[in-house]
Amino acid sequence: MNNKLTFHQLRRDLDLPVPGTRHFETWSELCAAAASGALTYPFIVKPTNLDGGWGVRRINGPDDLRGRVDYSPILAQDFIPGRDLCVFYLCERGEITGQVAYTFARHGIRFVRRPNVDAFSRAIVAHLALDGVIGFDLRERPDGQVSFIESNPRFWFRMDVMALAGLDFVRAALMKEPLGKGPPDGLELRNRGRLFKAAVLPWRLNWLERRVIIELARDPVLPLLEWLGRTKPAGPFLPRDQTIVTIPANVTPY
């Protein structure tokens, strides 16, 4: 599930909505396919076994093929217009026992409900008889249609925020407790920078933002360093022009 090619093959076998995907062993093979018209611009290239967005590039035209990537094999996927959608599930013996879904708003994240995505995800969870936590990244078109992009078979960044929202995945998994319903559809959580600025007018914060502010105040050093840009992301170095992030640049992913 952590391999993007393997996950693509699983989605195809289960007849789930996926973007068109091609597999190449070398950058030269990919460039030749693009030159022959076998790939349609724009498309996304990515490694099969890295996470966190490392090595992901959007190819808008032939000029973007002048460079190269330092990994192999390479996946090329159709670019899906729309927005990113993230869903995470707590599973037990092939059944979903709790979930959360969110999209990226202008200055943070927006919690949403997506029953159609839950139905697709149940097919994966049941097929693999999953136990524990699994997440999926999707693209959602303006008309509501979705495409599964990749899976994240692990706990994820900002689990603390989800716990503050009433979704303590870790406790529920360890104690075999039911997961709460979580935030209502449409609730937004501003990123840390916006929260720090909004804290001077606390009556404008929603209940979740107030909880996050209180939690950050317990140990403010790391959040402050992150806000000031004094921390570095973990992972291999990649030049900015070789990595794309489809969420707005001013959003801190929770």
Look up the CATH superfamily of 80-189.
ATP-grasp fold, B domain (3.30.470.20)
Tokens representing 252 are: 């801190």
Q: What is the mean pLDDT of residues 198-224?
A: 86
Residue 166, Cβ neighbours under 10 Å: how many?
14
High-pLDDT (> 90) share of the chain, %:
58
Tokens representing 69 are: 């990537």
Average pLDDT, whole number, for the chain? 86
C-beta of residue 69 within 8 angstroms of C-beta of residue 45: yes
Q: What is the mean pLDDT of residues 206-215?
A: 92
What separation, in Å, do the N-terminal and C-terminal C-alpha atoms of the chain show?
22
Distances (CA, A) of 251 to 114, 188, 191, 227, 246: 22, 12, 6, 12, 11
- Range scoring the smallest mean pLDDT among 63-72, 196-205, 231-240: 231-240
Nearest residue to 114 via CA among 93, 79, 91, 139: 139
- What would the pLDDT profile of 58-90 be if each residue is shown by its tens digit? 999 999 998 778 888 999 999 999 999 999 999
84 three-class SS: strand
- What would the pLDDT profile of 98-136 be if each residue is shown by its tens digit? 999 999 998 899 999 999 999 999 999 999 999 999 999
Residue 248 has what pLDDT? 37
Task: Tell whether the model's pLDDT for residue 239 goes beyond 70.
Answer: no
- Give 197-224 as a DSSP string: HHTTSGGGS-HHHHHHHHHHHHS-HHHH
17 three-class SS: coil
Pairing mode of beta strands 43-47, 83-92: unpaired
Distances (CA, A) of 156 to 56, 133, 169, 230, 250: 19, 9, 10, 22, 20
Where along the chain do the CATH 3.30.1490.20 domains lie?
Answer: 20-78
Task: Tell whether the model's pLDDT for residue 252 goes beyond 60.
Answer: no
Residue 61 has what pLDDT? 94
- What would the pLDDT profile of 129-186 be if each residue is shown by its tens digit? 999 999 999 999 999 999 999 999 888 877 889 999 999 999 999 988 888 888 999 9
Residue 60, Cβ neighbours under 10 Å: how many?
12
Helices 4-13 and 115-128, interaxial angle, to 10°? Answer: 100
Helix (H) or strand (E) holding 44: strand 43-47
Residue 249 has what pLDDT? 36
133 three-class SS: strand
Q: Is the Cα torsion angle 77, 48, 132, 94 positive or negative in sign?
A: positive
Furthest-apart CA atoms within the chain: distance in Å: 59
pTM for this predicted structure: 0.84
* CATH number listed for the domain at residues 20-78: 3.30.1490.20
Task: Tell whether the model's pLDDT for residue 46 goes beyond 90.
Answer: yes
High-pLDDT (> 70) share of the chain, %:
89
Residue 39 has what pLDDT? 94
Task: Tell whether the model's pLDDT for residue 251 goes beyond 70.
Answer: no
Q: In the beta sheet, which residues pair with residue 188? A: 110
Where along the chain do the CATH 3.30.470.20 domains lie?
Answer: 80-189
Residue 250 has what pLDDT? 36
